[in-house]
Amino acid sequence: MNERQPFDLDAYVQRMTTGPCFICELVRGNPDFAHHVIHEDDETIIFLSKYPTLRGYALVCPKAHREDLAEDLTPAEYLALQAKVHRLARALKRVFDAERIYVLSLGSQQGNRHLHFHVAPLPKGVPLAQQQFQALMAENGTLHIPENEMQAMALEIGAAFAAG
């Protein structure tokens, strides 16, 4: 199991409120914003979180810069995006034998404006007091997962995602 490391919330808030859109930069191929990609197609990119609180924690994003779920996506675009969230959830269940899959849409007009869904597998056996928000809060520290493990994890999840 990976150990938790302290998370610099102040530096994170500074980056997300003053820096460029990290998802758009990732899509453009900017190496400063590289992530471990699980799946990519013409409309969507799915990648592992750089600040995971659970193994397999991933983000599902439209590639086009969209900010408002209710106003920037057509019903068909929303359903297509949610189909990928669901497919990723099924892949994460298989890879991690998860008790539950958490799905959240976070961000705001103040920071991390690009629409994205957080999808995170909760391992079986985690005590209730350490589940839900507690399991997702970077303030409680993030997992230190070496790059080679992150790459292997992205490949394994990607293969499970591709298998349906």
pLDDT tens per residue across all 164 residues of the chain: 678 899 988 998 898 889 899 999 999 999 999 999 999 999 999 999 999 999 999 999 999 999 999 999 999 999 999 999 999 999 999 999 999 999 999 988 888 899 999 999 999 999 999 999 899 999 889 999 999 999 999 999 999 999 98
pTM comes to 0.94
pLDDT tens string 47-57: 999 999 999 99
Structural contact between residues 122 and 131, judged by C-beta atoms closer than 8 angstroms: yes
Cβ atoms 56, 121 nearer than 8 A: yes
Residue 101 is which amino acid? I
C-beta atoms surrounding 68 within 10 Å: 10
Tokens (6 digits) for 100: 């539950």
**CB contact at 8 A, 55 and 3:** no
CATH number given to 4-162: 3.30.428.10
DSSP per-residue string spanning 51-69: S-SSTT-EEEEESS----H
Q: How many CA atoms lie within 13 A of 2 on its CB side?
A: 17
114 with 96: CB under 8 angstroms?
Answer: no
Cβ proximity of 115 and 61 under 8 Å: yes
Q: For residue 47, give the nearest of 32, 63, 69 by alpha carbon.
A: 63
Residues 6 or more apart from 26 whose CB is under 8 A from it?
33, 34, 35, 45, 47
